Structure 1
């Protein structure tokens, strides 16, 4: 298996540190608002990667955090007239509500920053003791340049990074820091907002420190994979590496995986809350009849590539998903008249498509070629469904393969639930209306739809009769 490592900017052979087990940490959201489609993209991308590891037989320890205290949360809580913990509870509940329909598997552990304040303080104390951090007026900063190789994950010129950092500092920060590149691991806080007692006075953790503490607590000092959006490579993940390895003395992460942005508009602008061009998943779920369309749309773009969000692309995903489901149901329907036995030649063709799926997914999770293998399997299902003699074992083999591969994408609902009598009658009425205006293509389409769902129509002089096959 090959994965693209942001650290080397190359595909590298992936082999777990512990046989059969993968320890994986993915940065989660800051819970001050509903998640938008860009946030969902990261969650779906890494959930799909996790599912593929499971498909390949690995056990996956998957940890993803909630950042439940920071300046944005303090501001949002004040605007809403509630406490920061109340704000966090509100949007963590919303996150769980919005990700459930998208079939995102629950994390093995979903830790919150505020639940780990003692561990964060101990971590910071160790950094100070080792000379990697220093306290000034209640703030604690990490000496970035003291860490050998600082910034390597960002692949940026250190002088340019230093210049950019200096440009973002106000006079107070510039005076407190030994170097513009130094970053806060603890922030003094006497503003009346949420804070905790520490050896340096009242304060709260810096953003980067929480992930270092929680990743090592739940997964150990050396991780197989650390993931997140590409915008986190610098400064967040860069700073995680520095402070974690300074603390443990060990290599922190084997493979750094980063997903691409969701873009919007003709200019392919990054979707973000700061730009105001975002669509929340909470609202999108109200507009889409089937949440699996959103899941399929996101999961079938290779994780490193940008996803172009538009209604047209969502509609295309809906058509492609329906194509797969229809093929599945066509063959499922034929099971009713199949004969006992198997067809080795057909199963061999199906297995070849499955083998192709594994080969392309082993190449840095190439989901776009992976879904092509699924389409080929569906085409085989459609062809076999109209064969004169369908064998039960072979039909079930093909159906099982389609369902298992679609499960890697996190898409379920392949099988058709029983259609209600009222829905059948409504479709028959629509078919009769279409025939009356000589729209025979629509009439035939309705008949075919009902047939795939096990409904048999009989046109008689007295009208249309129907029954279940």
Structure 2
């Protein structure tokens, strides 16, 4: 459902490049060219990743509400060192591996009620565009070849470091972990400077079947150039908004700026939107720490999934979000309250009852005033850099008005219609009233409803294969739902509520 047209709207977003909130000024009237970084499809995405994808979803929904035409593109990284290592470990081909995890990613997006992007381009399908961009950088002297690999000359891009606010003074060249800026994922010994980064990686035996024979030689693209080439193909030389997690500001997004602007001679992006981390147990969630939680591992029921969506979309996207059983339980209570209010509206609308004449008109007028005030608060919050906590206060002002009339038995069909229309407008942005596909309905297994917890079936397999990081991740998923798990003799497990 569309909301206001957006004319005269004071919609502001925090621009990482400017380090301040700025009014949104689209390049092409009402069209917004929006690029977001997608997953590396070699494993399950974790709920920390999905905070990013939900942030992009709310941003896109709000822009649409405001009357903009959002052209959203989200890439899939399917050429990567981690993918090559997983292929070797599992004995599978590139496409088989990446197709499997891309399909799971899209299932999770559907479960979270995420509005699909216009396109999800893969790096493997855009090698020609990548090669063309690298050739342009070579011709301009912004890149060089060494031992078959091609690198970007950072010293030739005068604005390098502006996005991440890097201070080069005092940095030791090559000190990748000690305050320097070298990218440890690249081929260090072949670079002129530690600041430089790979655009094209020469083939090495450990790459196995992952290579392309091109005008650049035998090899594969570097990570950063993939996004630049695909963003340019689908959205043009300059885009309105680029979104990603805060951990991508450097080096990934900094490098995107350098190579894109170097190739086109035009500004790459007008507004950079970055979301904060999700923490578990006080630590950033990551696969390397073994504390990552998959969607289906941590969220067993439809209510769990809806509550997670609610939790994320009503948080301030730039701050750290701590995921705990108590926090999820609070979100579930909020969703139940929303459902109860919506049920009360449905009952009033179906009954068609209530007072008639002047009394009905007065009730509808009072509902109009309450709904207008709640919507104004909601819109004011969302226009202020997606201030979702403030917007949620407007939502619950509306819910309180509904609850008050429902409790008094005075909720008329006319008032319910007004309230329903306002609630639908808010939900067109928040997206919490839906049935998650692939999940048991509320009251099923797991969480408070069933009083039981489902043990992820891949935990036993991971233990048998001595894949301890995956086994630990499964344990973390159980702990996040409020249960403790203990292995007992005979291969069984003992589960108790924390």
**Cα deviation, residue 15, structure 1:** 1.9
**Cα deviation, residue 348, structure 1:** 1.3
**Cα deviation, residue 199, structure 1:** 2.1
- The CA deviation string for residues 237-293 of structure 1, in whole angstroms up to 9 with x for no partner, is 00000000000110110000100000111xx21101111111111322436644211
Equivalent of 1:21, from 31, 42, 56?
A: 31
Equivalent of 1:237, from 235, 253, 260?
A: 253
**Cα deviation, residue 64, structure 1:** 0.4
- CA–CA separation in structure 2 for the residues paired with 1:402 and 1:128: 55
SS where residue 208 of structure 1 aligns? helix
Instruction: State whether residues 54 and 312 of structure 2, in contact with CA within 8 Å, keep that contact through their aligned partners in structure 1.
Output: yes
- CA–CA separation in structure 2 for the residues paired with 1:173 and 1:188: 9
**Cα deviation, residue 331, structure 1:** 2.8
CA RMSD of superposed structures (Å): 2.1
Residues 404-415 of structure 1: pairs in structure 2 closer than 5 A: 404-413=425-434
Indicate how the Cα distance of structure 1 residues 50 and 73 shifts in structure 2: closer, same or farther if over 3 A, else same: same
Partner of 2:384 in structure 1? 363
Instruction: State whether residues 371 and 398 of structure 2, in contact with CA within 8 Å, keep that contact through their aligned partners in structure 1.
Output: yes
Kindly indicate whether residue 276 of structure 2 is the aligned counterpart of residue 260 of structure 1: yes
- CA–CA separation in structure 1 for the residues paired with 2:302 and 2:434: 15
Partner of 1:302 in structure 2? 316
Indicate how the Cα distance of structure 1 residues 77 and 339 shifts in structure 2: closer, same or farther if over 3 A, else same: farther
SS where residue 68 of structure 1 aligns? coil
Kindly indicate whether residue 67 of structure 2 is the aligned counterpart of residue 57 of structure 1: yes
Partner of 2:419 in structure 1? 398
Instruction: State whether residues 183 and 251 of structure 2, in contact with CA within 8 Å, keep that contact through their aligned partners in structure 1.
Output: no
Partner of 2:332 in structure 1? 318
Range with greater deviation from structure 2 (392-401 or 127-136): 392-401
Residues 39-438 of structure 1: pairs in structure 2 closer than 5 A: 39-159=49-169, 160=171, 162-165=173-176, 173-191=187-205, 192-265=208-281, 268-286=282-300, 289-335=303-349, 336=351, 337-339=353-355, 342=361, 343-387=364-408, 389-413=410-434
SS where residue 131 of structure 2 aligns? helix
Partner of 1:447 in structure 2? none
Indicate how the Cα distance of structure 1 residues 164 and 409 shifts in structure 2: closer, same or farther if over 3 A, else same: farther
**Cα deviation, residue 20, structure 1:** 1.3
Range with greater deviation from structure 2 (126-135 or 277-286): 277-286
SS where residue 330 of structure 2 aligns? helix
Q: Unpaired runs of 5+ in structure 1?
A: 415-419, 424-469
Range with greater deviation from structure 2 (151-160 or 79-88): 151-160
**Which structure has the bigger radius of gyration?**
1
Q: TM-score, normalised by structure 1?
A: 0.84
Q: Unpaired runs of 5+ in structure 2?
A: 1-10, 436-440, 445-498
Residues 437-448 of structure 1: pairs in structure 2 closer than 5 A: none
- CA–CA separation in structure 2 for the residues paired with 1:138 and 1:208: 18
- The CA deviation string for residues 270-325 of structure 1, in whole angstroms up to 9 with x for no partner, is 10111111111132243664421111111111110111011110000000111111
- CA–CA separation in structure 1 for the residues paired with 2:400 and 2:226: 48
Instruction: State whether residues 135 and 200 of structure 1, in contact with CA within 8 Å, keep that contact through their aligned partners in structure 2.
Output: no
- CA–CA separation in structure 1 for the residues paired with 2:369 and 2:301: 42
- CA–CA separation in structure 2 for the residues paired with 1:176 and 1:163: 13
Partner of 1:456 in structure 2? none
**Cα deviation, residue 168, structure 1:** 5.9
Partner of 2:477 in structure 1? none
